[in-house]
Amino acid sequence: MARFELKLPKMGESVAEATITNWLKEVGDKIEADEAVLEIATDKVDSEVPSEVSGILVEQLFGKDDLVQVGQTIAIIETEGDAPAVKAVEEAAFAAEVTEIENTIETVKETMSTPQDFTTSDKFFSPLVKNIAKEEGISIAELDGMQGSGKEGRVTKEDILKYIEDRKSGAVTPKVAEPGKTVEAVKAAEPIVQKSQQAVPVSVNGGDEIIEMDRMRKLISGYMVASVQTSAHVQSFIEVDVTNIVKWRDKVKTAFEKREGEKLTFTPIMMEAVAKALKDFPGMNISVDGDYIIKKKNINLGMAAALPNGNLIVPVIKNADQLNLVGMAKAVNDLGNRAKTGKLKPDDTQGGTYTVTNVGTFGSVFGTPIINQPQVGILALGAIRKVPAVIETPEGDFIGIRQKMFLSHSYDHRVVDGALGGSFVKRVAEYLEAFDVDRDF
């Protein structure tokens, strides 16, 4: 008999931890290779952890609701025969840890040997105070956190000498910036004390039912409130004539499904137009980090999808601008189906640079969606409706029945002005209205 360590697998570049939500196997249960042992949840998606081997579950190292780091051992499985290279795995893990420690030491050395740059602080320090700080190895973060007794709160010679004395005696704990971090980053990491607002009391009578939010609904609630508090939301709306698209889809959808094995919905057609518009207006394909704007190299489109339980998730189509319509349809259908069945992986929801939500699915004509942070824009697709419209022709204008929809564009007014936000959604509309009805799929 041998013992196999089941570890929390890597679930994506930006996913470092997960919460155990349910054990599917109990101690003593027999497990087959690739059979799910437990369910886990990240801040984006729920998934299962399968076993790499067949055997008996002999130990659960964590309980339900415990937070586990990627790479941690979460269970022990007893297998027949020799353990599959357990020693080699342990040696590789030890070597990786040694390398990481060595890299950290080198980084710290580089940081310590770098001269203090006092220009990163908003405070004024006299040359004498700066020299004392350099000689005593006092970091900028420490200086910035001192309460000065001088004019306008400036740190004096007496203040810094007293601080040095207190630090040597252990009366104060030095605040040291992490390697590579600026004072601004240290400040940002500090907890922000906010004035607590008293919640409005809710009246509950005997006939009311009280239901606690599930984990995902709590997360969504937090994300939505944080987004509204972070971004200055503003909206632009535009009506689009999609008659040609409706006619083309009706004409080719049967042949498309027969040839590609995929249903052709309107969503991939809309996503294709959005990806093209983002290439034309890269100022919409950005994110905000404090006072800095990050222009994204890749166009990764998030598509908001409703789960069977009513919650929302946003899987991401990576490099959407590089896909043709067939590739886009396959990506949309794959992510949509896996969202409905709970088969999305954590990496499927990471890295989005712009989001599209189809509010028309539920019959809404248009909506005012909330931005998916740290992105700066989100486009809502309204329901396609038959409406009477004025049609302009060389022979004159007349009234006809057209297929129309509204596009609702929410964008972050901190960095996106009306000219850019309005021009972007207009370009999407232009691509849709200029759709080639003679194109192949």
Which residues are designated catalytic?
413, 417
Q: Is 107 left (phi over 0), alpha (psi -120 to 50) or beta?
A: alpha
**What is d(CA 355, CA 373) in angstroms, rounded to the nearest whole number?**
10
Helix (H) or strand (E) holding 378: strand 377-381
Reading the block at residue 80, the tokens are 């027949």
Pairing of strands 17-23, 67-69: antiparallel
**What is d(CA 379, CA 356) in angstroms, rounded to the nearest whole number?**
5
Which residues are CB-neighbours of 221 under 8 A, at least 6 positions away? 213
DSSP letter string, 129-174: HHHHHHHHT--HHHHHH----SGGGPPPHHHHHHHHHHHHHTSS--
User: How are the residues of the chain apportioned to helix, strand and coil, as percentages rounded to the nearest 5?
Assistant: 35, 25, 40
DSSP letter string, 207-247: T----PPPHHHHHHHHHHHHHHHHS-EEEEEEEEE-HHHHH
First vs last C-alpha separation in the chain:
57
Pairing of strands 301-306, 354-357: parallel
How many CA atoms lie less than 13 Å away from 192 in the CB half-sphere? 5
Q: Output phi, psi for 65, to 5 deg.
A: 75, 5
E strand segments, 271-362: 286-289, 292-295, 301-306, 312-313, 316-317, 354-357
**What is d(CA 394, CA 196) in angstroms, rounded to the nearest whole number?**
65
For residues 58 and 34, the answer to whether their CB atoms sit within 8 Å is no
Q: Which amino acid is at 144?
A: D
**What is d(CA 59, CA 400) in angstroms, rounded to the nearest whole number?**
71
Q: Output phi, psi for 98, to 5 deg.
A: -60, -45
> Cis peptide before 282, with omega less than 30 degrees from 0?
no
